[in-house]
Amino acid sequence: MAKTILVVDDEPDIRQSVKTILELNGYKVFTAIDGDDCLKKVYNVHPDLILLDIMMPGTPVDEVVKQIKDIKIAFMSVVRISDARKRGLCTQDNIVDFFQKPFNVSDLIDRVELILNE
Amino acid sequence: MDGKNYSIKNFLLTRINRKLTFLFIIVAIVAPMVGIYYFYIISVHAIPDYLSDVQAPMLKTVAVMIIILIAVDAGIIGFFVSRSISKPIRELYNATRKVEMGNYDVRLNIKTQDEIEELAEAFNRTTASLGKLEAERKEIDNAKTEFLSITSHELRSPMTPMKAQLQMLEEEYFGKLQKKQKESVKIIIRNADRLDNIIVDFLEISRIEAARLKFNFEKTDLTQTIMDIVKFMEGFAKEKNIQLIVNISKLPIIEVDPDRVSQVLRNIINNAIKFSEENSKIEIAAELKKDYILCSVKDYGCGLASENQIRIFEPFYQVESTSRRRHGGTGLGLAICRGIVESQNGKIWVESKPGQGCIFYFTVPLIPVRNIKPIKMLFSPKDVIEKKIIEEFKTILGPLGVVEFDELKSKNALGKDDIYGYIDSLTEQYILTPESGVDFKCRIGEIFGDEKDVINTKEDTLHDNVGDEGLK
C-alpha cells in the first residue's frame, strides 16, 4: 500500500510542488495550510510522515509538534538547522529529518524513501 | 517694573560689571605706579624742611603700605575675574570633548549673563541638533539593515517552489525534453542557483550588520577542521591540477565555531584556486601565536596591487570588472569572511605583490567572543582609509594638504605607491625636508598596513613592516 504523507506549508506553490514530486514518486499526499489545519487533519488521514514548515501563521510550530507524538515529522524550512535547534524544535524523538529550503528534488525523494523504509 | 529692575540689576552686575572690573584692574595697576613715582620724588628730593625726622619715615611707610594694599587688591580682583572667565571656558572645553566622544546629551548650564553664556547656549543648540542627526542616522542605518534582512528573506521564499519546479522539469517528471528545452532549463537552473547564492550572501551580510550572526561554540581541534576543509576543497583543486599543501603546527583545543572557521577558510581557498594558474600549488598553514591562532593561505597566482589589497574585503569589489564574469561568485565572499572574522575580534588581511601571488591571513582568538558586535559591511573601509590619509595630509602640509589630496583623488592616485611617489616629488622640490618626507611615508605606510602592524607589534617583528619601502 502507498505510504501517506501530509505536507504542511502556508505557501500554495510549495505545497503544490512538493505534492507533485511525491505523488509522481508513488506516495499518497495530503496538504494542510498551517499548524491548526495540520492538527485538524492529522488524525483523519493518519500519515506515515508529516513534512512541516517552521514559520507559519497561527499556532506556533513548537506547540503543534508537542501534540503529535506518534507520527514521524520532518521539518522543511528556510531557517538553518542550527537556528531550529536553538529554538528547541528538534528535541522530540519523532522528529526525524530537516530539509533545508530550497531543497533538491532528488535529495528529498531519497531521504523520504529512507525515512519511510526504516 | 520687575523686568526693568531685573535688567538694570543685570546691567549693573554683569556686562558692565566685568568691564568695570577690568577698569578697576587697570586703575589698580596704574595707581601704584603713580604712587611709586610720587614716593620716589618725595623720598629723594622734596621732603619739606618743616617735617621732622620722625614724620618723614612715617610718610614713607604709609606710602609703602598703600602700594602693597592696592597691589594685593588688584591681585585678588584679577584672580576672580580671570577665574570667572576661565571656568566657563573650561566647562565648554570639557563639554566639547564629550561631544567629540559621541555623547550628544551634554548640556551646559552657564549663567554668566554675557557672551560666554550666549556661546554656551549656541553650543547647547548645536549639540541638540547634532544629537537629533545622530539619532536619525542610527534609525536609517537600522532601517537599512532591517530592509536588507527582510528583502533577502522575501526574495528567498519564492526560490523554493521555483527551484523545485525547475528540477522536476529537468528530471523529466512531466515528460521527455528536447535537446533545446533541456539546454534552456539548464541555463535557468544555473542562474536560479546563482541568484539564490547572492540572496544567501545578502542574508549573511544583513546578519553581520545587525550582530545577528550565529556562532555555535564548541571545543574544537582546528587541525581537524582545517584538514576536513582541505579534503573537501581538493576536489575543486583537482580540476586545475592544483596541489594543496598543509602545514599546521601543534594547535591547542579551543572553543570556537568550527563551521564559521570552515566557511572563512573555504572562501579563501576557493578564491586562491580561482586565481591560481593550472598545475600550481596552494599552501595552507596554521600556527599558535600569543593569544590567537594565525591561519594563512598562500597562492602563486597573479597577485594584487597595493590599492586593491584593502578593497578586496569590500562587498562587490572585484579587481577587474571582467573578472567576475570570468571567475564567477557573488563578490560577497571576502566581505563575509571579514564580517565573520571581525565579529570574533579577529583580523583578516592580505599580503601580496603583483605577479607573485597572495598570502591571505586571518586570526582566530583563543577565547570566543560571545557578545557579538555589529560590523559595518556596506560602509567601505576605503572611506575610512581616505579619511586617515587626508588627516595626515593636513597635519604635514597644512590647509594645502586638502587641495593636494583632492587632486590626487581625482587622478585616482591614492594607492600606497602613488602617495609614496608624490611624497618623493615633494622632497625633490624641497617642499618637504627629507626627514619629514620619511616621516610622512611612515605614517601613510601605517595606514595601509594598519592591521598588519597591530599583529606584528605583538610578535616584536617591527622591522619588517611599516614598509621597508617607506624607509628607503
The pLDDT value given to residue A39: 92
Q: Determine which of A105, A107, A108 to mutate to test the interface with B (most B C-beta atoms within 10 Å).
A: A105
Q: Which residues of B touch A87 (CB under 8 A)?
A: none
Residue A11 contacts B, CB cutoff 8 Å: yes
Closest-CA residue of A relative to B159 is A102
**CB proximity under 8 Å: B 134-193 to A:** 153, 156-165, 167-168, 171, 173
Q: Which of B159, B168, B216 has the CB atom closest to A102's CB atom?
A: B159
The pLDDT value given to residue B452: 41
Closest approach of chain A CAs to the CA of B414, in angstroms?
42
With b for 16 or more beta-carbon neighbours within 10 A and e for fewer, the B40-67 pattern comes to eebeeeeeeeeeeeeeeeeeeeebeeeb
**Chain-chain contact of B167 with A11 (C-beta, under 8 angstroms):** no
The CA-CA-CA angle for residues B255, B256, B257, to 5°, reads: 140
Greater confidence (A72 vs B413) lies with A72
**Chain-chain contact of A11 with B160 (C-beta, under 8 angstroms):** yes
**Chain-chain contact of B196 with A102 (C-beta, under 8 angstroms):** yes
| Partner residues linked to B334 by β-bridges | none
Residue A83 contacts B, CB cutoff 8 Å: yes
CA distances from B302 to B98, B196, B271, B353 (A): 48, 30, 12, 9
The pLDDT value given to residue B285: 93
Residue A21 contacts B, CB cutoff 8 Å: yes
Nearest to B333 by CA among B323, B347, B318, B353: B318
A3 Cβ neighbours under 8 A, 6+ residues apart: A27, A28, A48, A49, A116
CA distances from B448 to B149, B312, B467 (A): 32, 13, 9
pTM: 0.64
| pLDDT classification of A30: cutoffs 50, 70, 90 | very high
CA distances from A89 to A10, A54, B125, B257, B333 (A): 19, 9, 53, 21, 30
**B345 Ramachandran zone, left/alpha/beta (phi>0; psi -120 to 50):** left
* One-letter identity of residue B109: N
The pLDDT value given to residue B297: 94
CA terminus-to-terminus distance, chain B: 79
3-state secondary structure of B301: coil
**Chain-chain contact of A16 with B161 (C-beta, under 8 angstroms):** yes
The pLDDT value given to residue B126: 92
Cell digits of residue B137 = 542616522
Q: Which residues of B touch A20 (CB under 8 A)?
A: 168, 173
**What's B371's DSSP letter?**
S
- H-helix or E-strand containing A50? strand A49-53
Nearest to B230 by CA among B243, B215, B216: B243
Q: Where are the domains of chain A?
A: 4-117
Closest approach of chain B CAs to the CA of A13, in angstroms?
6
Q: Any long-range contacts for B456-459 (C-beta under 8 Å, 24+ apart)?
A: B458/B289, B458/B290, B459/B289, B459/B290
Q: Which of B156, B157, B164 has the CB atom closest to A103's CB atom?
A: B164
Evaluate the CA torsion angle B106, B109, B110, B115 in order and state its sign: positive
CA distances from B351 to A15, B129, B305, B356 (A): 51, 44, 10, 10
CATH classification (class only), A4-117: alpha beta
Nearest to B207 by CA among B152, B143, B137, B149: B149
Residue B437, burial from CB neighbour count under 10 angstroms (0-12, 13-18, 19+): buried
Q: Which residues of A touch B160 (CB under 8 A)?
A: 11, 14, 17, 78, 101-103
Lookup result for grid cell 604712587: B35
CA distance B326 to B319: 12
Per-residue pLDDT of chain B (472 residues; tens, 9 = 90+): 444 445 555 555 555 556 666 777 777 777 767 777 776 676 666 566 666 677 777 777 777 787 788 778 878 887 887 777 788 888 888 998 888 888 888 888 888 778 888 888 999 999 999 999 989 988 988 888 888 888 877 888 889 999 999 999 999 999 999 999 999 999 999 999 988 888 888 888 888 888 888 888 889 899 999 999 999 999 889 988 999 999 998 889 999 989 899 999 999 999 899 888 889 999 999 999 888 999 999 999 888 887 777 778 888 777 665 554 556 677 888 999 999 998 888 888 888 888 888 899 999 999 888 888 888 776 655 666 777 788 788 878 877 787 888 777 767 677 777 788 888 888 888 888 888 888 888 888 777 754 444 333 333 333 333 333 333 3
Per-residue H/E/C for B93-114:
HHHHHHHHCCCCCCCCCCCCCC
**How many residues in total does chain A contain?**
118
Closest-CA residue of A relative to B166 is A105
**Chain-chain contact of A14 with B164 (C-beta, under 8 angstroms):** yes
Q: Quote the strand ranges of B209-291, DSSP E.
A: 218-221, 243-248, 253-256, 281-288
CA distances from B59 to B43, B44, B50, B62 (A): 9, 13, 13, 5
The pLDDT value given to residue B5: 47
* One-letter identity of residue B292: Y
Q: Which residues of B touch A102 (CB under 8 A)?
A: 156, 159-160, 162-164, 196
Q: Taking the CA atoms of chain B, what radius of gyration do you get in angstroms?
A: 36
Share of chain A above pLDDT 90, in %: 61
CA distances from B234 to B209, B243, B411 (A): 32, 8, 43
Cell digits of residue B404 = 593636494
With b for 16 or more beta-carbon neighbours within 10 A and e for fewer, the A2-40 pattern comes to ebbbbbbbbbeebbbbbbbbbeeeebebbbbbbbebbbe
Q: Determine which of A76, A87, A101 to mutate to test the interface with B (most B C-beta atoms within 10 Å).
A: A101
Cell digits of residue B51 = 617735617
CA distance B317 to B268: 15
Closest approach of chain B CAs to the CA of A107, in angstroms?
11
**Chain-chain contact of A86 with B173 (C-beta, under 8 angstroms):** no
**CB proximity under 8 Å: B 243-302 to A:** 259
Q: Which residues of A touch B258 (CB under 8 A)?
A: none
Interface confidence, given as ipTM, is 0.88
